[in-house]
Homo-oligomer: A and B are copies of this chain.
Amino acid sequence: MSLSTIGGLIMAWGCLIGAVLLDGGEMRAFVALSPAVLVFGGTFGAVMTGMTVEGIKSIPSRFAFVFMQKKIDLNATIATLCEMAVRSRRDGILTLEDDIEKITDPFMKKGFQMCVDGVDTDKLAEVMESEYATLKEGYKEGEEFFKQLGGFSPTLGIIGTVLGLIHMLANLENAESMGPAIAMAFIATMYGVSVANLVYLPLANKSKTLAQQELLLKRIIIQALIGIQSGVSPRLLEQSLQCYVHQHERKESEKVAKKA
């Protein structure tokens, strides 16, 4: 469960509702069915049009990805990989075979399986880079999905407002009904802009942030695989893997290392 995603959304919407209540407004005044149908339905329709059937089926997993953030501990992964490097160097690469069963990440599993199978280093690097590129592509599609939602949503809000204004202007009967009619028309804009800026676009950013973390982990794994197979010294391997971790996060890793 991603604390920052949930917390950020609560803060953003809390501030919006708080601002309305502080002004003496009632939330009820901002609830309307027809703008909701247009903005939410229209946006999903527009985004769906650009996707394949498989893409549409993967929408729930896009939301799960940003809300159910996996815990990624780069330092722990580096420690595990370096330990495997030590063992591989001392007892031979085949002794890693037992560890492969325990690996849950399919990317890392495939890599070590190929190592143990004796695939040569160039081919190993090539295959793992292809896997990396495919993963990256998949993450980019996820970010793109939320970005498209965030892009179409405000324009559908504007369409709703223009429709409402045309409807009102074409049926001017008395000046008194004008105010509420314009208010109604603006609700569509409010829905479109709010949901884009307080849900879709922040989730697109989250999707990008999480993907960068995952890809960094994969990059470290590729680097380690190549190092292990070419028999680099574990100490040098650790030095080169730690380069991928930000300096201030790395310090803690060194403390951990000292305890070990």
Residue A205 CB within 8 A of the other chain: yes
Task: For A13, list chain B residues within 8 Å (CB).
Answer: 45
Given A165-B183, A209-B55, A11 and B41 touching (CB < 8 A)? yes
A 174-202 to B, binary, CB cutoff 8 A, 1 in contact else 0: 00100110111011011001101110011
Contact A22 B46 (CB under 8 A): no
Per the bound structure, the CA–CA distance linking A105 and B162 in Å amounts to: 47
Residue A166 CB within 8 A of the other chain: yes
Task: For A206, list chain B residues within 8 Å (CB).
Answer: 49-51
Q: How many residues on chain A are close to B (CB under 8 Å)? A: 109
Given A9-B49, A35-B19, A189 and B167 touching (CB < 8 A)? no
Stretch with Cβ within 8 A of B (4 or more), from A82-90, A93-101, A148-156: A148-156
Per the bound structure, the CA–CA distance linking A87 and B260 in Å amounts to: 38
Residues in chain A within 8 A of chain B (CB atoms): 3-5, 7-16, 18-20, 22-23, 25, 29-30, 33-35, 37-38, 40-42, 44-56, 58, 61, 69, 106, 114, 119, 123, 126-127, 130-131, 133-135, 137-138, 148, 152, 155-156, 158-160, 162-167, 169-170, 172, 176, 179-180, 182-184, 186-187, 189-190, 193-194, 196-198, 201-206, 208-210, 213, 236, 239-240, 243-249
7 nearest A-B pairs in the assembled complex, by CB-CB distance: A50-B205, A12-B45, A8-B49, A15-B41, A11-B45, A49-B202, A130-B243
